[in-house]
């Protein structure tokens, strides 16, 4: 896997453009990734960025999107503990490439979960942004996983060679990913 330099990347066949921090690699170069996902990872720190195109859940369309997807990710990750520590709804000036009627919500929290069905629990800051495209009944889910504590017997500890990235750097990276997010071709959602 070749690590990327910090730059804007075309994803989903160029329909979306987004900034990815330096050192992340495209996971699809190593393993199969579902068509509705794009995943980048930084093996040295065990961080990952995932962008998913999801149908807005009909039974949760009025619920806070970021909160809903944060809890869904916790279930999918079989998290033993999960808590949202902050929530926000950024305004358009903060996100120059996301135009109304699209809405954005952000949830940031902590999950304690194991990877690869292991027993060792890692503590991970999970940053979730949901760009809701109501016209297309679509939620674009951006998640940034930032491990803050790797269990001694976790396989992630042996793979992650670098010290954990400071939380303020991870948060800045997440915000820059979101701020750079730009839909180039809305045909992706039809």
Residue 80 lies in a domain: yes
Q: What is the CATH number of the domain that holds 31?
A: 3.40.1000.10
The pLDDT tens digits along the chain (190 residues) read 455 556 799 999 999 999 999 999 999 988 999 999 999 999 888 899 999 999 998 887 667 899 999 999 999 988 889 999 999 998 766 788 888 889 999 999 999 876 656 667 777 899 999 999 989 999 999 999 998 876 566 555 555 555 677 789 999 999 999 999 999 999 999 8
Q: Which pLDDT does position 67 carry in this prediction?
A: 95
Please report where in the chains the tokens 């490439």 appear, as a residue.
Answer: 97
Query: CB-side exposure of 30: number of CA atoms within 13 Å?
Result: 13
Question: Which are the contacts of 98, defined by CB distance < 8 A and separation ≥ 6?
Answer: 92, 104, 131, 181
Cβ pair 177, 19 in contact under 8 A: yes
Indicate whether 2 belongs to any domain. Answer: no
In angstroms, the CA 11 to CA 103 distance is 21
The number of domains in the chain is 1
Residue 41 maps to a domain? yes
Domain housing 71? 7-189
Q: HSE on the CB side for 135, CA within 13 Å? A: 10
pTM over 0.85: yes
Whether 157 maps to a domain, the answer reads yes
Specify the pLDDT at position 80: 87
82 domain-assigned? yes
Please return the burial class of 180, using the count of CB atoms within 10 Å of its CB with bins 0-12, 13-18 and 19+.
Answer: middle
Q: Which of 95, 70, 81, 91 is nearest to 145 (CA)?
A: 70
In a domain, 1, yes or no: no
pLDDT at res. 157: 58
């Amino acid at each position: 896997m070749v690590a990327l330099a910090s730059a804007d990347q075309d994803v989903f066949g160029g329909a979306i453009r987004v900034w990815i921090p330096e050192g992340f690699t495209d996971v699809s170069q190593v393993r199969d990734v579902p068509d509705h996902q794009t995943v980048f990872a930084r093996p040295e720190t065990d961080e990952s960025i995932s962008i998913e195109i999801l149908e807005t859940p009909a039974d949760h369309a009025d619920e806070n999107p970021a909160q809903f997807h944060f809890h869904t990710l916790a279930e999918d990750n079989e998290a033993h503990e999960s808590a949202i520590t902050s929530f926000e709804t950024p305004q358009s000036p903060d996100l120059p490439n996301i135009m109304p009627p699209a809405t954005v919500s952000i949830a940031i929290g902590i999950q304690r979960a194991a990877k690869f069905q292991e027993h060792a629990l890692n503590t991970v800051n999970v940053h979730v942004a949901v760009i809701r495209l109501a016209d297309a009944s679509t939620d674009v889910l951006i998640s940034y996983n930032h491990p803050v504590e790797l269990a001694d017997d976790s396989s992630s500890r042996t793979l992650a060679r670098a010290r954990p990235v400071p939380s303020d750097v991870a948060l800045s990276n997440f915000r820059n990913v979101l701020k750079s997010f730009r839909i180039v071709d809305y045909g992706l959602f039809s």
